[in-house]
Structure formats: C-alpha cells, structure tokens
Structure 1
Amino acid sequence: MAVTWGEPLTLFVRARQAVQAEDFSYDPWANLSEKNSVAGDMQRFHYDSENRLISAQTWQGPL
C-alpha cells in the first residue's frame, strides 16, 4: 500500500472482536500532525523548525 503525504492513513485494530479505525495525518516532514478516532476524539500536534513536538491539542467526543 503506497501512501502519499497529506493522504489520511487508516489503520484497523481488532480489540475484543470489535473493529476500531483511527485516521492519521502527517506533515511534509513525516511528523504526525493529526489523529482522529471513530469515537470522535481528535488530536493535533505542532512542531518547531527542528521537528520537535511543541504542543498537542486534544478534543474528546463527536465534533
């Protein structure tokens, strides 16, 4: 499976016979920039010019 930058990557995880999906987005430098869950939780990540994580924001529940 080929993934291009900016294209959401969906991973499926089996947990107790339930399937949950999370979407991950990456910036052009391969840093994780956004993570979304099926439950509606969302996280955004911000990096400095040396690709060090400087902040993370989390929202819970349906947006």
Structure 2
Amino acid sequence: MKIAVYSTKNYDRKYFELINAKYGFDLEFFDFMLNESTARLAEHCEVVCILLMMTGVEKYWKN
C-alpha cells in the first residue's frame, strides 16, 4: 500500500520508517503541506496522511 505523508519533518520521518519496518508500506514523504497544487502528488497513493494542524484540506478528500 502506498501512503503519502504530508508536512513531514526529519524527526517525523525517522519514526514513521522505524514503525513501518514492521508493516512494509510504501511511504512517500513530502515536507510541504497538502494544498490545491500539491494534492496531485498523492493521486497514485491509496492513503494520505496529514500531519500538524492542517485546516482546509477537507476539499481534497474523496470517498
């Protein structure tokens, strides 16, 4: 499963990779926020993870 992780800092990535060693997901990290121009980067991912207190991203969610 491919997972896009937005707003990732180096310290976040370290822990995601450590925990993911048990699960083997394909993680794609972005150090910028999810917004209208960056949403397309996750089109090939089955899951999107947003970090921090990101507001206004609901419009990019699909059912």
TM over 0.5: no
By percentage of residues, which structure has more strand? 1
Quick one: higher RCO (CA 8 Å, sep 6+), 1 or 2?
2
What TM-score, normalized to structure 2? 0.28
By percentage of residues, which structure has more helix? 2
What TM-score, normalized to structure 1? 0.28
